[in-house]
Structure 1
Amino acid sequence: MSDSDVACDSPNTLKRKPDDDEKALEAEIKRVALDDVLPAAARISDYIHMRMLCLVKDASMVVGHKGERISRIKLETGTRINVSENIKNVPERVIYLRGSCENVAKAFGKISRAINDEDDRESNDRSLPLTVNLLVPHHLMGYVIGKQGSRLREIEDQSAARLVAGPQQLPLSNDRVLCITGVADAIHIATYYVGQTILGCEPKYRARKTIFYQPSAMHSVLVNNYGIAIQHQQHHQYHPGEKAKRSRSRMSPALPPTPNEVVFHPYLPLAASVQGSLGVASNLALPHVRIVEGINPQTRITSVVQEIFIEELMVGNVIGKGGKNITQIKESTGCSIQIADPVPGKNERKLTIIGTPIGNQTAVMMINNKIDIDKRNQHNRHNQQHNGHMKI
């Protein structure tokens, strides 16, 4: 019997392999859509994954009728583009773009034209400016901003776009928003240089775990201006000494202020802290953390500032070697944690936690638990040493 006869007599064996391959391919597509991981097949030196947060209606413009527009953008740019699920009562969606830095930037230009419903041609005097909201991990945002905002200014000069970095991490994530405002060509150029800046970061920073921002009905970044509040910027942020105002070609006069200005949050209590906003945590008596009493604001807030005090001797334990412990707490809770300088004569150190109420509560509990575990270990080591001396 020939090999071909054997193959014909075993149709099930032939069918099983394609099924397995299809399942593996399906799993790979889902993994790539959800994880910020470089695929093994990607051998492009400047391969990058960038994310854009937009409103549902804008995402619909990008997808187009029956997905025709997004398919065309993918084909023309050679990029992989996925859009997060459209969930009822959630006003936002995330667009994921993967490919070479140049192609991803090109795709951003086409996406900008799609949202503005413009023809796919070079921008001109009649082109409308648009704001694209990139999601950038907190640990990479410093590279994009540069020393005293130097890198942002360079990108602005090279692209004629305007860039504003949101100062706060988004709810339940360690993402921040980078707003890029300009016409489609300006956004194309700006996103290219942002991507190149991220690729230029040290690998250990790019490899850090990122907790992606997930749109939710509980909180909305673009609707509530969380973390960016572009229309409320008032004070200088990155280089307060610079007073010169630079003009932007092809820009509307009604555009947001320059990125030299810090974001003003009308909803963010900048006084001491808001213990009452912590819910359950406000009623907890934690042995190793002193929570400062605060006023529960009357208005609805998305982010709160919480001040706590811990023993001066335990600050190093909370920070950990190379900042490992404090970084883990930040990544797990999505909170920003600032440790004040030591005050002479004081045996306590102040920590300022900024995040969502539940994120702050979790961070406080993790700090308290870390101190408790370390104190128990110290006590056990002391007892072992004492017992050893007694035996001698």
Structure 2
Amino acid sequence: MDIRISPSVLSGHVEIPASKSCAHRAIICAALAEGVSRLTGVSMSEDIRATIDAMTALGASFRENGTSVEVTGIREIPERAEIDCCESGSTLRFVIPIAAALGTASVFHGRGRLPQRPIDIYKRELSAHGISFNRQDMPYEISGTLTGGRFEIEGSVSSQFITGLLFALPLLEEDSEIVLTSHLESRPYVDITIDTLRNFGITVEDMGESFRIPGRQHYAPCDMHIEGDYSQAAFFCVANAIGSQVEMGNLLPGSVQGDKAILELASDRKGFRADCSDIPDLVPILAVLAAYSSGPSVIYNAARLKIKESDRLEAVSAMLNALGGNVRVTSDGLEIIPAGQLHGGEIDSCGDHRIVMAAAIAALGCSGDVIIRRAEAVRKSYPDFFKDYTSLGGIANVINME
């Protein structure tokens, strides 16, 4: 689907959709709980659907009613499971160790760039704790039952590996320890995990450079409202910074989401230096903010974005440069020099949801129209983005449904 965006100003009120990070974690914890949990405010994106389907394959059951989901935890553990992660890296990396802890022989399927996203850490660490990877490439096939103990994990690759183990290790007979062998990037995502685990009755001891996880724990059911997503609110925050007036609801002021940093970052229109090691999802929209600033900006500690839904650093650079910007990719980020008013143009989203939404915000202040190719990618995380965008006065018209 291709969309033509015309320059405009957004105004009005928008309810920010549920945090995808929080929803993934609550769905998984509820599925592992011994009883029924009720989750409200769930926004159904492709990634969240993938996690629900994955936990269904492992024996949980879900009953949906609008944005509410009733989850009945796993009662009978299946011997085998076929799990389609679609394009969701979170689903893949969260569920592999859970299936291993349950002793369910599982095959993991995926599409898009997911087969290229590394899971070498699991191949090494889980193989040392009772799990066999019978296929080295996707579809991955695992067998065996995970055993506890010491897990040494690089913190610089993805916090998703830490989260996956934090879900699985409480289920084991043995106590376990996760030891970080390098600085943990995206630590706020681990904070979200630990906070969610606590709500479902699971204890994790955060030692700073390691995590201690007692075994023989039991997940307790929990009723929870899923808070709004600051990484999605970020698009409207930057829209406001460049001239729009959008009020945002469903955001928790005391949230542990790292992307809440956008509230402070979006107030800087003079140019900035942003360490994105903990906030990688903000990079595309921060680059848009930088393009509209009065001075140069540098985004750094974002090298991991090369292995997202696209090579996100190259995709952001190509998007803004196609609109008349001046963006250079560095070894670990971006350098952005303001180049005056963006003129519009045609961009390829690379099938990346965050590139689509960032381009739509960039288009607000362009002197001409912006055509976004493959705009359907928003379904991955924010299916109603263009519905909300146009309700606020944005001008977006589908020009090609293929």
* TM-score class, shorter: under 0.3
Q: Which has the higher strand share?
A: 2
Return the index of the structure with the highest Cα Rg. Answer: 1
- Greater relative contact order (Cα 8 A, min sep 6): structure 1 or 2? 2
Q: Which has the higher helix share?
A: 1
Q: TM-score, normalised by structure 2?
A: 0.27
